[in-house]
């Protein structure tokens, strides 16, 4: 998928722009219909993406309580969050822990599962479906299920720990374990990562493995020297998707702990949400400022990964990212 995306990008770069007047009547007619059919999408993007994007930027310099016009306050919100909002730092730290933990878990576990499910085992379709299935379950239902699984007294996980002689853990009652509980829960979506890895694995030509075998490479050497280098475009894609998603973690935490205990699970988006929709007066301006800082953080992370990808992402045929 990642390789196909790169190839398409290259083809587009090489294509010359065609002028409207050079088009045949048939092509013009098709183009008009094409534009007509994407009009709802364009309207949607303008109304629901571009307009809020610009509006939130402007609102971040104002005090805005929804019922009264915004009042310009300049950089006040940005100064406040860095100097006078301890929950800003705490929620950012919690989010960083979640991003670091969940991205590593999903990449490593997703890759391992994809490797296993790329072999010729019985009921392959069933296994793939089973691992992917949790990803399509609504997050509210998942949250309720995980509350039972991680229940301190009667939960499945603690029962397993007890069975092997380990002490029970008060997952959501202990500030030291509450975020770990959410990291465990993040394995729920490993199926998505796994499917993308599977697609990448199936794009690796068999001849490479045959050549490596003839050269005497064992399983681990083939994994290290063939599979992983050729999977770097897919790893790159998965890392980007997971980092962007993990920074925005909200729903399960909102439902399951609301940021407790001791704000140990208060993530950045939860903090932002509280200011916008939980507090009175609503602090839309401050929330917008928080949202823009999050956007910048995600943008910087993405830019760094994209910029460094040339060093560690390898495409078949010798190209680098």
Partner 1 sequence: MFKKSTLLLLVALMLLVMLPLSSVSAQNPDCEGDVTLTYWHHWGGNRIPLQEQQVAAFEDAHPGICVDNVFLPWDNRLQNLLAAIAAGNPPDVTMFGRHDLPFFAATESIIPLDDYMAADGVDPAIFHPSEFAGTQFNGKTWLLPLPGGGAFAIAWYNVDHFAEAGIESFPETWDEMLEVAEALTIGDGSFLERVGFNANSVTGFPFLAWLNANGQTWISDDLRTITINNEAGMETLEFMQAMTDINYGIEELNAFWEMSGEFDQGPLIQGLVSIESNGSWTLFQLEDHAETLNYDVAPIPYGPSGSADRRGGAHGGWGYMIPKNAAHPDEAWKLVKWLTTEVEGQGACWFIQQQQRPSPLVECNGYEKDGVEHPRAQAILGVAALDYLVPVAPVQPEANQILNRMLEDVLFGDSAIADALAAAEAEIQALLDSFWEEYG
Interface residues with partner 1 (CB under 8 A) are: 29-30, 33, 36, 40, 63, 65-68, 147, 151-154, 170, 172-175, 260-263, 274, 277-282
**Between 29 and 224, whose beta carbon lies closer to partner 1?**
29
Instruction: Indicate the residue among 226 and 264 with the shorter CB distance to partner 1.
Output: 264
Q: Considering only the C-alpha atoms of the chain, give the largest distance between any 2 of them, rounded to a whole number of Å.
A: 78
Rounded to a whole number of angstroms, the minimum distance from the CB of residue 68 to partner 1 is 6
As measured in angstroms, the least distance from the Cβ of 171 to partner 1 is 8
CB of 54 to partner 1, least distance (A): 18
Query: Residue 76 or 319: which CB sits closer to partner 1?
Result: 76
Q: How far is the CB of 286 from partner 1 (least distance, A)?
A: 11
Nearest distance in Å: CB 19, partner 1: 22
Q: Nearer Cβ to partner 1, position 71 or 224?
A: 71
Q: For residues 2 and 253, which CB has a smaller minimum distance to partner 1 in the complex? A: 253
DSSP string, 54-92: HHHHHHTTEE--SSS--EE-TTHHHHHHHHS-HHHHHHH
The Cα–Cα gap between 190 and 197 comes to 11
Instruction: Pick between residue 182 and residue 314 the one whose CB is nearest to partner 1.
Output: 182
Q: What is the DSSP string of 186-213?
A: GGGGHHHHHHHHHHHHTTS-HHHHHHHH
Phi-psi region of 316 (alpha: psi -120 to 50; beta: other; left: phi over 0): beta
Strand runs (DSSP E) across 68-176, as ranges?
71-72
Nearer to partner 1 (CB atom), residue 21 or residue 153: 153
Element (H, E) at 268: helix 268-273
**Is the sign of the CA dihedral 41, 46, 49, 50 positive or negative?**
positive
293, two tokens: 């800082």
Q: At closest approach, how far in Å is the CB of 30 from partner 1?
A: 8
Q: By C-beta, is 182 or 189 nearer to partner 1?
A: 182
- CB count, 10 Å around CB of 20? 8
Give least dist CB 187 to partner 1, A. Answer: 21
Q: How far is the CB of 100 from partner 1 (least distance, A)?
A: 25
Tell me the three state secondary structure of residue 314: strand
DSSP string, 21-62: GGS-HHHHHHHHHHHHHHHHHHHHHIIIIIHHHHHHHHHTTE
Which helix (H) or strand (E) covers residue 126, if one does? helix 124-132
């Amino acid at each position: 998928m990642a390789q196909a995306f790169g190839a398409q990008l290259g083809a587009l770069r090489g294509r010359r722009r065609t002028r409207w007047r050079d088009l045949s009547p048939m092509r013009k007619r098709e183009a008009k219909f094409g534009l007509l059919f994407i009009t709802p999408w364009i309207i949607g993007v303008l109304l629901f993406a571009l307009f809020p994007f610009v509006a939130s930027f402007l609102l971040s310099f104002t005090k805005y309580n929804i019922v009264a016009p915004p009042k310009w306050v300049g950089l006040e919100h940005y100064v406040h969050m860095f100097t006078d909002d301890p929950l800003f730092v705490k929620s950012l730290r919690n989010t960083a822990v979640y991003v670091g933990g969940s991205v590593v878990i999903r990449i490593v576990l997703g890759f391992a599962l994809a490797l296993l499910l790329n072999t010729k085992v019985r009921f392959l379709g069933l296994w793939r479906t089973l691992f992917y299935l949790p990803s399509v379950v609504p997050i509210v239902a998942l949250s309720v299920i995980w509350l039972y699984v991680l229940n301190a007294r009667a939960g499945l996980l603690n029962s397993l720990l007890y069975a092997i002689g380990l002490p029970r853990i008060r997952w959501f009652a202990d500030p030291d374990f509450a975020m770990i509980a959410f990291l465990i829960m993040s394995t729920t979506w490993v199926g998505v990562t796994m499917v993308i890895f599977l697609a990448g694995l199936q794009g690796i030509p068999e001849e490479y493995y045959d050549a490596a075998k003839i050269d005497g490479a064992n399983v681990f050497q083939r994994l290290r020297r063939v599979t992983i280098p050729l999977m770097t475009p897919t790893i790159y894609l998965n890392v980007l998707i997971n980092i962007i998603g993990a920074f925005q973690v909200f729903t399960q935490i909102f439902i399951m702990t609301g940021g407790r205990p001791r704000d140990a699970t208060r993530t950045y988006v939860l903090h932002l949400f509280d200011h916008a929709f939980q507090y009175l007066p609503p602090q839309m301006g401050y929330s917008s400022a928080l949202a823009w800082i999050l956007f910048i953080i995600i943008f910087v992370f993405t830019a760094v990964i994209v910029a460094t990808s040339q060093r560690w992402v390898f495409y078949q045929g010798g190209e680098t990212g």
